[in-house]
Structure 1
Amino acid sequence: MAKAPKLKDQAHIVTANHLTGGDVVYLTARNDWSRDIAAAFVAPNAEAAAAWLTEAEAQAARNIVVAPYLVPVDASTTPPRPIQFRERIRAAGPTTEQQPAA
């Protein structure tokens, strides 16, 4: 059986949900938020990403975003590709189709 990767050694980005619209957003190098994962600041590992998470948590305290957390990514691709399947789904956008108004 293959060993699970050591996610702490992976590059990481910070994600959250935007407070007003609920959209998935990513913390950028400018300390603002983007819906585009390609704009996310990529920290080389979880330890380096901790400072970015602290900034994101401060923004959550100011009611800009909800529940920020670190996402391990493959930084060798553009845009960075989340390691975890759930995060790849979140990065791809909503999985439900908007229904036409009745």
Structure 2
Amino acid sequence: MAKAPKLDSQPQVVTANDLKSGDVVYLTRAAGWSRHIAEASVVPNAEAGAALLAEAAAQAKMNVIVAPYLIPVDDSMTPPLPVQFRERIRAAGPTIENTPAA
């Protein structure tokens, strides 16, 4: 199995899941959460992201979100494009329709 490349020097955003809805969310500039990566607070690298991650961890302790982590993004695009394929899928939204059970 190949190791993932080190991406610490790339721009980063914080992502997590909303505890109530399960939705993928991104930490915004106002320290809130948005389902839209376009509203995410982008920092230049993982080192700068440490403060954002600390804010996210505090909100995780308050049961607002769960499992926050930094992801590298290409910030030359609008909205920022996640570098990793898995994160591109998460940013694009649910891959299944939410239909009620019969």
Following superposition, the deviation at residue 67 of structure 1 comes to 0.4
Q: CA RMSD, aligned part only?
A: 1.3
The residue type equivalent to 2:45 in the other structure is N
Partner of 1:16, secondary structure, is strand
Partner of 1:41: 41
* Distance in 2 separating the partners of 1:61 and 1:99: 31
Counterpart code for 1:66: V
**Residue 62 (structure 1) shift:** 0.4
Structure 2 residue 60 is the aligned partner of structure 1 residue 98? no
Q: What runs of 5+ residues in structure 2 fail to find an aligned partner? A: none
2:20 aligns to what SS in structure 1?
coil
* Structure 1: runs of 5 or more not aligned: none
CA distance in 2, matches of 1:8, 1:101: 42
CA displacement, residues 11-42 of structure 1 (integer Å, 9 cap, x when unaligned) = 00000000100000000000000001000000
Q: Give, as a single letter, the amino acid of the residue that structure 2 aligns with 1:37.
A: I
Count, aligned residues = 99
TM-score by length of 1: 0.92
